Structure 1
Amino acid sequence: MNFNRLGSSDLQVSDICLGTMTWGIQNTQEDADAQMAMALDAGINFIDTAEMYPVPPNEQTYGDTERIIGNWIARNQDKRDDIVVMTKIAGAGLKYIREATPITGSAVTTALEDSLTRLHTDYIDVYQLHWPNRVTPHFGKHWPDGADPTRIDREKEIEGMRDILRGIKAAIDAGKIRHWGLSDDTPWGIHTFLRLCEQENVPLPVSIQNEFSLLHAKDWPYLIEMCECENIAYLPWSPLATGMLSGKYQNGARPEGSRWTLAQRMGLFRDQAPAQAATAQYMQVAEKAGITPSQLALAWCRQVPGVTSTIIGATTLDQLSENIAAFDLTLSKDTLSDIHGILKSYPLGF
């Protein structure tokens, strides 16, 4: 297992970050314990979760993923300092989470205390803002008919971000979080937070996690260049495009128990003809290379310059083993050439 420094922090994290958003709906505590054991045995020391999880989010299971991880931590206190735990505060949109209100400094204080309790830990290694308060070009809103930057109230957003940072600073000063990061944000969001951190004397964000895959490469190269030059770790989430790049959803297939059989908060907006066509071609490249489609997508993601650690998830141990093995692969020049030929034809599959 390779390890990389997490942005400007002193943390060394594995090439693989274990995602946990299925724990609590598709996976039980027993499943999670088994995944943790496999991950640790493989050398993974990086775990990602969120107060909103599991996904699809709902009031009945809210916080259960953190509780499952907390149950594991409570039984393995001797391993707590060996793992880097990231969690996230949810933004506006879910009535059962702080009445669907935006992230504020006081919300950071409240949400953090609840996460610490559920996780059975005294500190969070990296505390992240799950999504910005403003509408951003993520979750299918990256096309010209999606997010509208002309509608952003710039001064209101900046003051809201400044207030958030005061909550972050208080948590860092209290030792409840060691570092903080962003998620589902943009170059403007990163730039503004960096400027405000200097003004408010707040430690800089160490990471950002955004959706990034062979079907959704919109962060390359502009946002990733900014991260690299500003020493912010770039952490791709959904490198398999919610499982599409595995090939399991080709030709309308919906395997029993798979994510696409569950109700989706924002619908199956990734299920588009260009994405399916690109996936079919990537499957052919994987077959030619003698690896699985999932391994092709993950091995490609790992070698993208500027990627610090890739967030992977699985519902079975077989899937997790297959995905972990991808990070021992080095794609040949011919395979990369084949991949990039498809990527140029389908730079944004959905």
Structure 2
Amino acid sequence: MKYAPLGRTGLEVSRVCLGTMTWGTQNNQADADIQIEYALANGINFFDTAEMYSVPPTAESYGKTETIIGDWLSRNPSRRGEIILATKIAGPGLHYIRDGGPITGDAVVVAVDASLKRLQTDYIDLYQLHWPNRTSPHFAKHFPGHISFSDVDREAHSAQMLDILQGIAKCIKAGKIRHFGLSDDTTWGINEYIRLSDKYDLPRVASIQNEFSLLHAKDWPYLIENCVHEDVAYLPWSPLAAGALTGKYLGGARPEGSRWSFAQRNGLFRDTDLVEKAVSGYVDVAKKHGLSAAQLALAWCDQVDGVSSTIIGATSLDQLKEDVSAFDLALSDDVLADVMSVFREYPAPF
């Protein structure tokens, strides 16, 4: 397993981050235990979860994933130091989480305590803001013209961000969290948090996790360039585009128990004619070079300059083994050329 710095934190995280959002809906405690043990045995020290999980998010599934992780930690307390544990506070919009209200400094303090209780641990290594209070170009809102940035009150949101940083600082001072990061945010969001932390001597953003894959590369190169030069770890989520890049949904297939067989909060916005064509192209490239489609997509993501650790998730141990094996691959120039020929034809298929 290879490792990379988590921003300026001094932590070294595995290039593979084990995502856990299926634990509690698609996976049970026994499944999670098996995945945790396999990950640790193969050098994965970075685990990502969220208060909102499992998915699809519902009032009934809220907190289930953290509870499952906490169950494992309660039975293996001596192994807590083997794991760099990341979780997230939900942003506004879900009525069953703080009445759908925005993230505030006070909300951070309350949410951290609740996550610690579910996780059955004394500290969180990386505490992330799941999405910002303002509307950002994520979750099917990324197509140009979908949202208006001019409608945002910059000063009001900057004040909210300062309040959030102050709440995070309280938690760090209390030893409850070690570092903080962003999720589903933008270049401006990163830089405004950095500006505020510099001005007020508050904790500095360590990382950002955004959706990133061969089907969804809007952050490449501009936001990733910013991350490289500001020492902010870039953590892609959904590198398989919710499973699309495995090829398992081609031809309208919906394997039982798969992500696309479940209701999605924003619908199946990745299910487009262009995605079908792009995935077919990548499947052909993978076959040509003796790889699985999943391995091709994950190995490509890993080799992108500026990527620190890629968040993967699996509902079976076989899937997890296949996915982890991708990070031992070095794609040749010929493979990358074939990948980019498809990418140029379908740079933004959804």
TM over 0.5: yes
> Equivalent residue for 2:156?
156
Amino acid aligned to 1:164: I
What SS class does the counterpart of residue 140 from structure 1 fall into?
coil
Asked if 2 retains the 8 angstrom alpha-carbon contact of 1:180 and 1:206, the reply is yes
Aligned to 2:249: 249
Task: List structure 1 segments (4+ residues) > 4 angstroms apart after TM superposition.
Answer: none
Q: CA RMSD in A?
A: 0.6
Is 2:291 aligned against 1:291? yes
Separation in 1, partners of 2:330, 2:144: 37
1:230-266 Cα shifts (integer Å, max 9, x gaps)? 0000000000000000000001000001111111111
Whether the 8 Å contact between 1:91 and 1:132 is mirrored in structure 2 is: yes
- How far does residue 147 in structure 1 lie from its aligned partner after superposition? 1.7
Tell me the distance in 2 between the aligned counterparts of 1:294 and 1:282. 10
1:73-88 matched pairs, under 5 angstroms? 73-88=73-88
Q: Are the counterparts in 1 of residues 237 and 311 from structure 2 also a CA contact under 8 Å?
A: yes
Post-superposition Cα deviations, 1:81-111, rounded to whole Å, max 9, x if no partner, equal 1110000000111111000000000000010
Secondary structure of 2:50's counterpart equals coil
Q: Matches of 2:189 and 2:304 in 1, distance apart?
A: 22
Which residue in 2 is equivalent to 1:266? Answer: 266
Counterpart in the other structure of 1:207: 207
Query: Does the alignment pair 1:166 with 2:175?
Result: no
The alignment status of 1:99 with 2:99, answered yes or no, reads yes
Which amino acid in structure 1 is aligned with residue 139 of structure 2? F
Residues in 1 aligned to 2:146 and 2:73: alpha-carbon distance in whole angstroms = 41
**8 Å Cα contact 2:165/2:203 also seen in 1:** no
1: CA distance between counterparts of 2:53 and 2:200?
Answer: 31
Counterpart residue type for residue 192 of structure 1: E
Give the partner amino acid of 2:318: D
1:175 aligns with 2:175: yes
Secondary structure in 1 aligned to 2:285?
helix
Give me the whole-angstrom Cα distance separating, in 2, the residues matched to 1:12 and 1:292: 29
Q: Which runs of 5+ in 2 are unaligned?
A: none
How many residue pairs match? The answer is 350
Equivalent-residue separation in structure 2 for 1:93 and 1:272 (angstroms) = 26
Percent identity of equivalent pairs? 60
> 2:319 corresponds to which letter in structure 1?
Q
Q: State the partner residue of 1:229.
A: 229
| TM value normalised by structure 1 | 0.99
Q: 1:41-75: per-residue Cα shift (whole Å, max 9, x none)?
A: 11100000000000100011110000000001111
Corresponding letter in the other structure for 1:88: K
- SS class of match (2:236): strand
Q: Is the Cα–Cα contact under 8 Å of residues 140 and 146 in structure 1 kept in the other structure?
A: no
The AA in structure 1 aligned to 2:342 is I
For 1:240, what is the secondary structure of its paired residue? coil
Structural mapping, 1:260-339, within 5 Å = 260-339=260-339
Does the CA contact (< 8 Å) of 1:124 and 1:177 recur in 2? yes
Equivalent in the alignment of 1:218: 218
